[in-house]
């Protein structure tokens, strides 16, 4: 008998993928948008992101110690939560906001439920919902224009982000006002600003192109499944064709896709492994559900934007979706 031989159950080889590798890749994929946040909203944006990440790491570490779990601050997941939370904050929020938010995300949403893999809500989004409910004034009034552009992305008069501007005018303005606003909002200039991120909004959500660079990297590496973002965005697009006047096709419909947090949400938050279905069919249904809720909230709800709430609602529906989308077992009817 050779004492040095290891005896273990098969398989004896494994793929080189690991939890850390996936998580850190997502962090890398968020870097372009992080740099974008600094470019558009200045050093303050970077400070907010750093505060958020550091708070997340400290909270995670303290929880590891209290709950006597393995130290998990190096697996990258807390860093992602920190970045994503900051990405969902307006640029002018006071510094205590990311501290409270990150703490809530890690301690209440993630660690109290058992840590990575056990939380049923996306920590960053749940924390954002918590902040919106607790500090409504701060969270809605802290938007500013990017350095080289305007807050609305289409004129200097409108002092609100594109989706808020439309919502406000819908509620308070005349139909003529709305028409004028929509004309401006759906101009190619406005769409260009939305695409590159030269517009007001939360830190990380404004630049579609920078988010897409990271997303494409993750899709190529197969670290995220294309099914959720694809079905999510397609649903939003199709619904916008149904709900919205076809008059400004396709500009208005592209505007719906590029504005708000849709790109960020579809590629980086709806795709969170832990809180989305594990089945292929389930992922498509999850994406469609997110899309329907997002468009409903945007057009009929009280909030100008519905991405974070719709993803959270679908997070809750995930076990149900999984239950009804189990793959067919080989050899069974």
Partner 1 sequence: MFNFLFKNKVRKYTFSGGIHPKENKHYTEECPIEKLPLPKIVYIPLSQHTGKIAKPILKVGDKVKVGQLIGEADGRISANIHSSISGVVKDLKELPHPLIFSRVLTYVIENDGEDIWEENIKKEFVEKDFSSEEIIEKVHKAGIVGLGGAAFPTAVKLSPPKEKVIDALIINGCECEPYLTNDYRLMIEKPKEIILGALLLKKALEKNSKNIRLIFGIEDNKEKAIEIFNSYKKEYNFEVYTLKTKYPQGAEKQLIKAILKREVPSGGLPFDVGVVVQNVGTAYACYEACYFDKPLFERVITVSGNGIKEKKNLLVRIGTPVKDIVNYCGGYVGEIKKIIFGGPIMGVAIYSEDMPIVKGTTGILFFNERDVLLEKEKDCIRCGRCVEACPMGLLPCELHKFIKKREFDKARDYSLLDCIECGSCAFACPAKIKLVQSFKFGKQEIWKKEKK
CA dihedral 283, 289, 292, 295 (to 10 degrees): -80
Based on CB atoms, which residue is closest to partner 1, 51 or 228? 228
Which parts of 45-104 interact with partner 1 (CB under 8 A)?
75
Which parts of 222-281 interact with partner 1 (CB under 8 A)?
225, 273-274, 276-280
Residue 331 interacts with partner 1 (CB under 8 A): yes or no: yes
| Residues in binding contact with partner 1, number by CB under 8 A | 41
The closest of 155, 123, 127, 153 to 139, measured between CA atoms, is: 127
Q: Are 144 and 151 in contact (CB under 8 A)?
A: yes
Based on CB atoms, which residue is closest to partner 1, 167 or 283? 283
The closest of 225, 218, 229, 149 to 190, measured between CA atoms, is: 149
Based on CB atoms, which residue is closest to partner 1, 8 or 174? 8
Q: What does each C-alpha distance from 144 to 50, 56, 234, 333 come to in angstroms?
A: 19, 25, 30, 58
Kindly indicate which of the ranges 49-57, 81-89, 165-173, 324-332 contains the residues binding partner 1, using the contact rule CB under 8 A. Answer: 324-332
Binding mask 158-197 for partner 1 (x = CB under 8 A): ----------------------------------------
Write down the least CB distance from residue 328 to partner 1, Å. Answer: 5
Preceding omega of 11 cis (within 30 degrees of 0): yes
Based on CB atoms, which residue is closest to partner 1, 278 or 296? 278
3-state helix, strand, coil in the chain (%, to 5): 65, 0, 35
Write down the least CB distance from residue 77 to partner 1, Å. Answer: 8
User: Helix (H, G, I), strand (E, B), or coil: what is residue 150?
Assistant: strand
List interacting residues with partner 1 (CB under 8 A): 1-2, 4-15, 17-19, 21-22, 75, 114-118, 225, 273-274, 276-280, 283, 326-332
């Amino acid at each position: 008998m050779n004492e040095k031989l290891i005896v273990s159950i098969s398989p004896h080889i494994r793929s080189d993928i690991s939890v850390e590798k996936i998580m850190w890749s997502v962090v890398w994929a968020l870097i372009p948008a992080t740099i974008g946040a600094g470019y558009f909203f200045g050093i303050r944006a970077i400070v907010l992101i750093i505060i958020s990440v550091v708070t997340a790491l400290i909270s995670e570490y303290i929880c590891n110690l209290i709950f006597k779990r393995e130290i998990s601050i190096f697996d990258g997941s807390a860093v992602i939560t920190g970045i994503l939370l900051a990405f969902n904050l307006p640029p002018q929020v006071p510094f205590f906001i990311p501290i409270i938010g990150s703490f809530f995300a890690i301690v209440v949403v993630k660690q109290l439920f058992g840590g990575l893999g056990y939380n049923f809500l996306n920590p960053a989004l749940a924390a954002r919902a918590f902040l919106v409910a607790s500090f409504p004034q701060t969270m809605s009034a802290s938007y500013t224009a990017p350095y080289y552009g305007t807050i609305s992305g289409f004129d200097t008069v409108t002092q609100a982000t594109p989706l808020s501007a439309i919502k406000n005018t819908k509620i308070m303005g005349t139909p003529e006002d709305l028409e004028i606003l929509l004309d401006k909002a759906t101009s190619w200039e406005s769409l260009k600003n939305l695409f590159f991120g030269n517009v007001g909004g939360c830190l990380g959500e404004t630049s579609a192109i920078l988010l897409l660079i990271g997303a494409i990297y993750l899709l190529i590496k197969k670290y995220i499944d294309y099914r959720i973002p694809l079905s999510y965005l397609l649903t939003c697009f199709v619904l916008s064709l149904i709900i919205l006047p076809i008059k400004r096709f396709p500009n208005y419909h592209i505007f719906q896709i590029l504005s708000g947090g849709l790109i960020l949400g579809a590629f980086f938050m709806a795709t969170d492994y832990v809180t989305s279905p594990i089945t292929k069919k389930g992922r498509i249904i999850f994406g469609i559900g997110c899309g329907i809720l997002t468009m409903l909230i945007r057009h009929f709800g009280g909030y100008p934007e519905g991405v974070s709430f719709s993803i959270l609602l679908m997070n809750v529906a995930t076990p149900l979706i999984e239950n009804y989308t189990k793959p067919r077992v080989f050899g069974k009817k």
